[in-house]
Structure 1
Amino acid sequence: MTRIAFYGSSLLSSYWNGAATYYRGLLQALAMFGHDISFYEPDAFDRQAHRDIDPPGWARVVVWEASARGLSRAAARAAEAEVVIKASGVGYEDDTLLQEVMGAARPGALRIFWDVDAPATLAAMQADPDDRLRRLLPSLDLVLTYGGGAPVVAAYRALGARDCIPIYNALDPESHFRTAPDPRFEADLAFLGNRLPDREARVEEFFLRPARALPEMRFVLGGSGWEEATLPRNVRLLGHVPTREHNAFNVTPRMVLNVARDSMAQTGFSPATRVFEAAGAGACLITDAWEGIEMFLEPGAEVLVAQDGDDVIRHLRATGADAAGEIGARAQARVLAEHTYTDRAALVHGILKNRIRQTEHAS
């Protein structure tokens, strides 16, 4: 049994934490391969007041005080593990946490940086030769990324990483599946996502502009931060939608929308968690266009792709409820066959097994 110390944003709360579903699905599946996982998350951003799962049986969750003392105590526990993983975007003194965690790792431990926002992380490193992560990269054994494909792999290697492997988002069939519709989410098109500066213009183009152009249709907007936004009359604002309600949110509307952040769309090969959540529920998904979508779903048959707001309008007008249901059913079948977290965990398990063996042989 391999002991893994994983330092991330939060496993217990999805509140202002887009990586929650990714962590939960992947780590639960990884535990099935016999790994003993301890997840260390800071008490930050009021997440502990918005927990949406209980501490799971498949991981030991340690909530540490967001202070210098709390950080040091949590980082010191990296010495207990054979594999030490620091994720990006933990949310409290990330650079210091990275340095202390990797410094505390025992000799021979596998040291991994797991990037859940590669475009932003790479941009920061490329802009600053003294960036803490950039300086530490050559000393780390491996970088794993939430997505990004060949462009991200090449960029990481150019900055000194020994190796970089994308571990894409996926579906957890036990968490995201077809369920009964909920009248709260009835709409022609629904979008779920927090209001972020580098996504707002795309939400305007792909969601709000179609809403204004189609006043006879109903639109639903979920996520935090939209309270001050100017919305068309036919857009109903929900606020934060807990993870436990995502299945109903995805299955109820005629269609659901995925909108990537600017950096993710430009990088490509970065399917958001929402893509697999929606497909797992059998939803008809409209996604903004990004390179690599065909690796995950077939455009036109399993997902509808929009280059701009006009394409969203066209899809809404041309795709009735029956056709939308058929697209959703095909998407669900595809992700169940090829894109579950068990598939991704098998890849990670193989990587860890091989790297640990190499380290043992080297010593």
Structure 2
Amino acid sequence: MKVVIFGLTITSSWGNGHATLWRGLVHAMVRRGWHVVFFERDVPYYARARDLLAIDGAEIVLFDDWEAIEPVAQRHLADADVAMVTSYCPDGIAAADLVLAASRPLKLFYDLDTPATLSALQRGESLSYIGPRGLEDFDLVLSYTGGEALAALRDRLGARMARPLFGHVDPDVHRPAEPRADYRAALSYIGTYAADRQEALVELFLRPARERPQERFVIAGAQYPQDFPWTDNIFFVYHLPPGEHPAFYSSSRLTLNITRQAMARMGWCPSGRLFEAAACGVPILSDAWAGLDAFFRPGQEILVAARAEDVVSALDTDDAALRRMAAAARERVLAEHTSARRVDELEALLEEARGPSRAAPMLQTEEN
């Protein structure tokens, strides 16, 4: 099977969540014998932080001019089985026009940012990656978010068939590793700075750090402002590449997950960081959102916090209980949430989309 993808980035994990997800999916596709071609605009901010140049068995096409690369894209689409455009693709509308004009491939749109897409529409903003006809011409619309988001993609953007394709992890990349002293933490957090996460970060990370000055807390990420309210016991790692994630997680007694506000409001939107941390065998502490218990059992595979006091209580949990929880979460993720499992699901969805009829969008996702 040949799959052609027009996406945001696969070559740089700096400041975005797309690259690591795509690397896992593409690796799993290649292992299945699929031929994958990924088109990525070569933008300066990703070029400066490029941490992947190639994937064996796949083709990455970097370009800086759409008109110049369009004939190459057309040639690939001519013999493609599947063609996909993603959210935040810099040339998303032009790429969609090209994909929809191709006669051979099944036509997909994958929104890895569904809550942000729907929030922008609600504010009356235009989208740089979805044209005026919305998603009605695509055979299949994939969403990183399940639940009510699927109905919204149908009702607001005209998606004929909307299905979830949730986050995932490549266990060959994210797995237990030797801890490192410079990453050692009672509580760690990986995440690009986002203003809409700051309130939760203050409550669930900064306040506990102030209350536990004798403990070491570590943040890894990018785009943190100069006036960020650091304390003496919070240490910072600027842009941690995916290859360093296992050592980082494995050096943490607990790691924190904080969900973007739009994602938390909509629910059913597990961050890839959850699966990565679990695959590395670290106990996870997360904020709460609808659908979380469909991916991890609270109290058994994950801890949930709403206030700083919950975080302090989690820090007081004994080591044996945390180890049991981490082992259970890792077992769950390796069974249900690997990149290979997502390709299994994608393959089934492609078969459904090729069928003679179009089913209504799936509104309940407990079985997925």
Task: Please confirm whether the aligned pair reaches a TM-score higher than 0.5, indicating the same fold.
Answer: yes
Tell me the distance in 2 between the aligned counterparts of 1:188 and 1:235.
Answer: 10
Aligned to 2:276: 277
Asked if the contact 1:181/1:252 (under 8 Å) is kept, the reply is yes
- Report the 3-state secondary structure (helix = DSSP H, G, I; strand = E; otherwise coil) of the residue aligned with 2:39: strand
TM-score normalised per structure 2: 0.89
Any idea what the Cα deviations from partners look like across 1:66-110, whole Å, max 9, x if unmatched? x453464565455332311001012x24434433x334x422421
Equivalence map 1:1-363=2 (5 Å): 2-65=1-64, 67-70=65-68, 72-73=70-71, 75-77=73-75, 79-80=77-78, 81-90=80-89, 92-99=90-97, 101-103=98-100, 105-128=101-124, 132-133=130-131, 135-147=133-145, 149-159=146-156, 160-228=158-226, 229-316=228-315, 318-356=316-354, 358=356
Tell me the distance in 2 between the aligned counterparts of 1:154 and 1:354.
Answer: 18
Distance 1:356 1:204, change over 3 A: same
Tell me the distance in 1 between the aligned counterparts of 2:318 and 2:125.
Answer: 53
User: Which amino acid counterpart does residue 108 of structure 2 have in structure 1?
Assistant: I
Tell me the distance in 2 between the aligned counterparts of 1:302 and 1:177.
Answer: 17
Tell me the distance in 2 between the aligned counterparts of 1:352 and 1:28.
Answer: 18
User: Which amino acid counterpart does residue 106 of structure 1 have in structure 2?
Assistant: A
Tell me the distance in 2 between the aligned counterparts of 1:208 and 1:74.
Answer: 49
Gaps of 5+ in 2: 358-368
Asked if the contact 2:85/2:92 (under 8 Å) is kept, the reply is no
The percent of aligned pairs where both chains have the same amino acid is: 34
User: Which amino acid counterpart does residue 341 of structure 1 have in structure 2?
Assistant: S
- Report the 3-state secondary structure (helix = DSSP H, G, I; strand = E; otherwise coil) of the residue aligned with 1:62: strand
- Report the 3-state secondary structure (helix = DSSP H, G, I; strand = E; otherwise coil) of the residue aligned with 2:200: helix
Distance 1:234 1:70, change over 3 A: farther
User: Which amino acid counterpart does residue 333 of structure 2 have in structure 1?
Assistant: V
Any idea what the Cα deviations from partners look like across 1:334-358, whole Å, max 9, x if unmatched? 1112221111111101222343464
Tell me the distance in 2 between the aligned counterparts of 1:71 and 1:212.
Answer: 52
Any idea what the Cα deviations from partners look like across 1:263-309, whole Å, max 9, x if unmatched? 11111111111101100010011011111111111111111111222
Number of aligned residue pairs: give it. 352
Asked if the contact 2:77/2:104 (under 8 Å) is kept, the reply is no
Cα distance, 1:37 vs structure 2: 0.8
Any idea what the Cα deviations from partners look like across 1:310-333, whole Å, max 9, x if unmatched? 2112211x2133322221111111
TM-score normalised per structure 1: 0.91
Cα distance, 1:130 vs structure 2: 6.9
Asked if the contact 2:250/2:282 (under 8 Å) is kept, the reply is yes
Cα distance, 1:31 vs structure 2: 2.7
Gaps of 5+ in 1: none
